[in-house]
Amino acid sequence: MELTRREKRKLRLEKLRQQSSEAQKEHEQRLEQQAVQEQSKPSKSKYYIIAAVIGFVVLATVAYSAYSINKPGPYNDFAKCLSDKGAVMYGAMGWCKYTQAQKGMFGKSFKYINYHEFNDLPGIKKTPTWVINGAWHENVQSFDRLSALTGCKL
């Protein structure tokens, strides 16, 4: 039995519709795959943002370090006054925790203290020992005590 022209045409149209539908599905699948691939790849802008944040943190850290190194110590004037008045501290920085504690009290300002090792002056029995106006003051001295002995203001 032979198909009429109309039936042949219907079959061709049906076949074209199926092919079109399949092509559309394939196209949608490719689009979905591309979208998944794009999502899995981090974008370059993310890398730029991360690099900018890291750069900012490093720059801020360097700036703060430079600021705090150059910032004057809180007792600079007091330490300079002690040295100007002739106060000398003798100690054992390498092993004496009390000498280290006295240094720690001054912090950055200790660089202005007239400091010598205890063996530079014979007769020192305790460290630290302050020599102020010829008098020896043994052990860690408070800032108030040093101020009273020298007349230096805190």
Q: What is the pLDDT of residues 98-118, one digit of tens each?
A: 999 999 999 999 999 999 999
What is the pLDDT, as a whole number, of residue 72? 85
The residue whose two tokens read 């102020």 is 132
Could you give phi then psi for residue 140, rounded to 5 degrees?
-65, 130
Nearest to 87 by CA among 136, 139, 123, 144: 136
Amino acid letter at 63?
A
Helix 76-84 and helix 143-150: axis angle, to 10°?
40
DSSP alpha helix (H) spans, the chain: 5-40, 44-70, 76-84, 97-106, 143-150
The residue whose two tokens read 């074209």 is 16
Give CA–CA dist 74/68, Å, rounded: 12
Give CA–CA dist 57/124, Å, rounded: 50
The pTM (predicted TM-score) of the whole model is 0.58
Give CA–CA dist 120/92, Å, rounded: 11
Sequence-ordered list of residues with C-beta below 8 angstroms from that of 34, at least 6 positions apart, any chain: none
What is the pLDDT, as a whole number, of residue 42? 66
- The stretches in the chain having pLDDT less than 70 are 1, 40-42
What is the pLDDT, as a whole number, of residue 26? 94
What is the pLDDT, as a whole number, of residue 54? 96
